[in-house]
Amino acid sequence: MSSANSFFKNDPRTRRNVIVLIIAQATLGCQMPMMFVVGGLAGNMLSTNPCLATLPISLIVFGSMMTAPWLSALMQRRGRRIGLIIGACGGALGASIAAIGLLNASFGLLLVGSFFSGIYMSAQGFYRFTVADSASDESRPKAISYVMAGGLLSAIFGPQLNNLLQGATSTQFLGSYLAIIVLNVIGLFLFFALDLPKTIADKAKVTTEKVRSRLEILKTPRIVAIMICGLVSYCLMNLVMTSTPLAVVGCGFTQTQANNVVSTHVLAMFIPSFFTGHLIVRFGAEKIIATGLLILAFSGITAFLGVDLMNFYFALALLGIGWNFGFIGATTLISSSHNKSERGVVQGTNDFIIFGSVTLASLTSGGLMNCSGGSPQEGWSTVSLAMIPMLILAGIALTWLIMNKRNSVPA
C-alpha cells in the first residue's frame, strides 16, 4: 500500500478511492471464491441431473450479464456510489434466497439466489472503472491494477471461510451463505467513503460530445477486438475454475483440498496486480495481453497432462496469472476508447458481452466436466481442450489490434 500512496501523492482523490476500493475488494470480494466453490458443490447435491451441477454458477454470471447494462446506465446518470450499494444489496439478497433454498432442499431457489448474487458480481466489475474515472491518463493503469490487487485478501479469506463454515451447520453449505449475507451488509457502508467526481462535470462539454449507440460501438473494430481479448481471458478463467471443485473432489481429493486449489487460483489472479499496471505502462497493454494469453495456454496444457493434486495447483495458478494480464490489459484499453459522455454505454456493453460469454462458458463447463466422458479425469481433459478455439480467437483479435494500433479516444 505504501507504493500506492507514494505513486498517488499528487492525486489525493485517486489515492483515497484506490484505498477504499481495495478494502471493498478484500471484504465484499470474499463472496466470489466462496460462491464459486459452494455453488457447484451445492448444485451437485441438490440437482437430480449431474450435468446441471454448475448451473448455480452459470446463473450468477447470467445475473451479472443482465445487470451490467442497466447498472452502468444508472451509474452514468446517478453516480457510481448508488450502483455499488445496489450491488452489495443484491449480494445479500441472493445469498439469503440461496440459504432458504438449502434449508428447503430446493434447487430452484438456489438458482434464483444465484441469479440475484450476479447483481453483486456485476457491481464488483465496475470497481475498476470507478477508480479509472478519477485517475489521470498516466495513473489509470496502476490505479486499476492496485484495485484489482485488493482481491488478494479475499483470495485468502474467502476459501478459508468456506473451510470453516461450509460444514458448520446441520445443512451443508448453509454457513457459507450466511457469512456472505454478513459480508454484504457490512461492506456496503464502505462506498460512502469514496470521493467521486460529479456525474456531469462540465455540462456544456457533455452536450457537445458524441455519444455512440450500442450498435455503433459494436461496429467499431478496435473496441470489438478489445472486448474479445477481455471476454476470452474471463471465459477461459471461468470455464476451468467452474469445473475445478468438481474435478478435484471427483478425482478422489477432499473438499478442503478443492478450497485450497481455488484459493491458490484466486491468489494468482490478484498478486500480479501489484505490478501489472507498471508493466502496462512500460511495455504497453497489447504485449501484456499477449503474455496473458500465452500463460492461459500453458495452464490448459498443465491441466491436460494429469489429475495429480499438483497439476491442479499449477494449472489453476497459471490460469489466475493469465486472467490477470489479459483482463487488466483489456480493461486499460477499453477505458481509453471512449469519452466521458459515453462511458455508461461502452462499459455497460463491454460487461454485458463479457459476462454473457462467461455465462455460456460456465454452462459449457458443467456439461463438459460431468457429461463428456465416463470419468472425472476424462471430463477434466475435455475442459482443457475446450480452451483451444477461444485462444485462437483472442490471438486473431490481438494481432489485429497490434497491426492497427492508433490513437485512442480520450477518456
Residue 155 belongs to some domain of the structure = yes
C-alpha angle 275-281-287 in degrees, rounded to nearest 5 = 90
CB 132 within 8 A of CB 144: yes
Answer whether residue 355 shows pLDDT above 90.
no
If one compares 347 and 93, the residue with the highest pLDDT of the two is 93
- Contacts for 104 with CB less than 8 Å, ≥ 6 apart: none
Q: What is the CATH classification number for the domain harbouring 314?
A: 1.20.1250.20
Cβ distance 257 to 381 under 8 Å? no
Specify if 287 maps to a domain: yes
Per-residue pLDDT band at 208 (split at 50, 70, 90): low
Question: How much is the average pLDDT of 206-222?
Answer: 72
Number of domains into which the chain is organized: 1
Question: What pTM does this model have?
Answer: 0.73
Quick one: pLDDT band at residue 102, thresholds 50, 70, 90? Answer: very high
The answer as to whether 44 is a domain residue is yes
What is the rounded CA–CA span in Å between residue 320 and residue 297?
12
151 has pLDDT over 80:
no
Range of the domain at 363: 9-196+204-403
CA dist., res. 373 & res. 240, Å (int): 16
The larger pLDDT score, comparing residue 394 to residue 11, is at: 394
Residue 219 pLDDT: 81
Mean pLDDT across 25-31: 90
Determine the pLDDT at residue 199.
56
In the numeric block, which cell numbers belong to residue 306? 494429469
Ranges 28-42, 56-70, 225-239, 256-270, most confident: 225-239
Whether 388 is covered by a domain: the verdict is yes
pLDDT of residue 370: 78
Task: Give the tens place of pLDDT for each residue, 308-337.
Answer: 999 999 999 999 999 999 998 998 888 777
Domain membership flag for residue 410: no
**Which amino acid, 173?**
F
* Under 8 Å between Cβ of 146 and 19: no
Q: Does residue 106 sit in helix, strand or coil?
A: coil
CA proximity to 403, closest of 221, 146, 139, 153: 221
Q: What percent of the chain has pLDDT over 90?
A: 39
Task: Give the pLDDT score at 202.
Answer: 43
Could you tell me which residue, 75 or 345, shows the higher pLDDT?
A: 75
Is residue 153 one of the residues assigned to a domain?
yes
Q: Is residue 4 part of a domain?
A: no
